[in-house]
Structures are given as structure tokens and as C-alpha cells.
């Protein structure tokens, strides 16, 4: 377990304790017509990468990566060659429901920036944000205008945590982004994007 996830799990455990209150055969695939031709060797086939479509307050969340695309993460942070990798869903009550790793170059996912998604049936949006801030080594900086509650703070000499929570679809949802230290303006832009999509 990496350090940032361990800190996050401890915060969520505290929060969770306080918030309790016609079969048939498939048709055969279509066969190409005899008149169809393959691309000529002189004209290579081009492929277009899939366009990233962000999640915007989905009624049901099934992944963390749709909240922030790899290209967006790279543009906002000034990082190059970022790949967003959805991690296996959390199974424990104190674990995040979904996690997305933003891997750069040949970096291992364990060392990458990560976006964690949590949902609580009953909790004031300020509570998970405050619980996350309690794990920081210094003061937290509030981020007005991002969700119902948001802040960032340093976890250690390398990692920063950014927490945004919002009450929506009968849940309190939180996105928690662990990433290296960046300027306040970068963190504020990330928080605004994530808060709008919760």
C-alpha cells in the first residue's frame, strides 16, 4: 500500500464512522462484400485516438478516470506523456470506490498521481474534506467555488492532496487527487474542473 493511499484510508475510516446514521444465438458478424478493398500500401490507414468525454455529474459512477482525462491532466499540470489508468475498484468500506492513476513515461502506477472517488450516503460535504486535511503536515488552503467544499494541503515533502466534495444525486461525493506539489493556481484549476464534474 503506498503512503498516500494509507493516509487517505485512515481519513475515510474516521469519516465513515462519523457519518453512519430472451436467450438466443447471436447473429453472425457481417461478412465483407467481395467488392471491398484493403487500403493500398502507399496510403497507410490512419487511426484517430478516442475523444475524451468527461463525466458531468453522472447519476451512477463506475470509474474515476472519466472525471479527468489524461490530456487535461497533462495540460493543466504541464506534464507530458500522461496515460490515465483505471485501477481495480476498492472493496473495503474505508477504500476509495474508484481510483485513476495518471502515469507519466515508464513510471509505475504506484508512484503516479492518483484520483480517488468516494461516495457517502450521509455526510456533510465539509466532513470528508476536513477529515482529509487532518492528515496534512501543515495548514490547508480552502478553494472556494469548487464543489460544496474543497481544499489542498501538503502530505509530505513531495505529495499534495486536493479534496473536493459535493452533495449530489442523494450522496456526498468526494474526489481526492494526490499529486506532486504544484503552484496554487494549478491546484485551483484542477479543483474547479473536478468540482464542476462531481
Task: Dig out the grid coordinates for 126 from the structure.
Answer: 465539509
Distance in angstroms (rounded) separating the CA atoms of residues 35 and 149: 60
Query: Which residues, listed in sequence order, are joined to residue 154 by a DSSP beta bridge?
Result: 160
Quickly state the pLDDT bin for 25 (edges 50, 70, 90).
very low
* pLDDT number for residue 52: 65
CB neighbour class for 176 (10 Å; exposed up to 12, middle 13-18, buried from 19): buried
pLDDT of residue 87: 92
Which residues touch 156 (CB under 8 Å, ≥6 apart)? 3, 137
Cell numbers linked to 93: 468500506
| pLDDT of 145 strictly over 60 | yes
The pLDDT confidence band at residue 173, using thresholds 50, 70 and 90, is very high
Q: pTM for the whole thing?
A: 0.73
Which tens digit of pLDDT belongs to each residue from 52-105?
677 788 888 999 999 999 999 999 999 989 999 999 988 766 678 899 999 998
Q: Can you tell me the mean pLDDT for 7-33?
A: 42
Q: Which three cell numbers stand for residue 20?
A: 453512519
Q: Please report the pLDDT score of residue 94 as a whole number.
A: 67
Instruction: Give residue-wise pLDDT tens across range 32-56.
Output: 444 444 444 444 444 444 556 777 8
Say yes or no to pLDDT of 113 above 60: yes
Please give the share of the chain, as a percent, with pLDDT higher than 70.
72
Sorted by sequence, the CB contacts under 8 Å of residue 160 that are 6+ apart come out as 152, 153, 154, 178, 179, 180, 181, 182, 187
The whole-angstrom separation of Cα 39 and Cα 116 is 43
Amino acid at each position: 500500500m503506498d503512503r498516500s493511499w494509507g493516509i487517505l484510508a485512515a481519513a475515510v475510516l474516521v469519516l465513515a464512522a462519523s457519518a453512519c446514521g430472451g436467450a438466443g444465438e447471436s447473429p453472425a458478424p457481417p461478412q465483407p462484400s467481395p467488392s471491398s478493398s484493403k487500403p493500398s500500401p502507399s496510403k497507410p490507414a490512419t487511426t484517430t485516438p478516442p475523444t475524451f468525454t468527461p463525466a458531468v455529474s453522472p447519476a451512477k459512477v463506475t470509474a474515476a478516470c472519466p472525471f479527468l482525462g489524461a490530456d487535461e491532466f497533462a495540460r493543466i499540470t504541464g506534464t507530458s506523456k500522461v496515460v490515465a489508468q483505471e485501477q481495480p475498484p476498492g472493496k473495503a468500506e474505508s477504500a476509495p470506490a474508484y481510483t485513476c492513476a495518471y502515469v507519466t513515461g515508464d513510471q509505475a502506477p504506484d508512484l503516479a498521481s492518483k484520483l480517488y472517488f468516494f461516495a457517502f450516503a450521509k455526510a456533510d460535504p465539509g466532513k470528508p474534506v476536513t477529515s482529509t486535511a487532518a492528515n496534512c503536515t501543515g495548514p490547508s488552503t480552502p478553494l472556494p467555488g469548487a464543489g460544496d467544499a474543497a481544499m489542498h494541503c501538503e502530505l509530505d515533502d513531495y505529495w499534495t492532496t486536493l479534496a473536493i466534495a459535493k452533495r449530489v444525486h442523494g450522496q456526498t461525493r468526494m474526489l481526492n487527487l494526490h499529486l506532486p506539489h504544484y503552484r496554487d493556481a494549478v491546484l485551483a484549476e484542477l479543483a474547479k474542473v473536478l468540482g464542476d464534474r462531481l
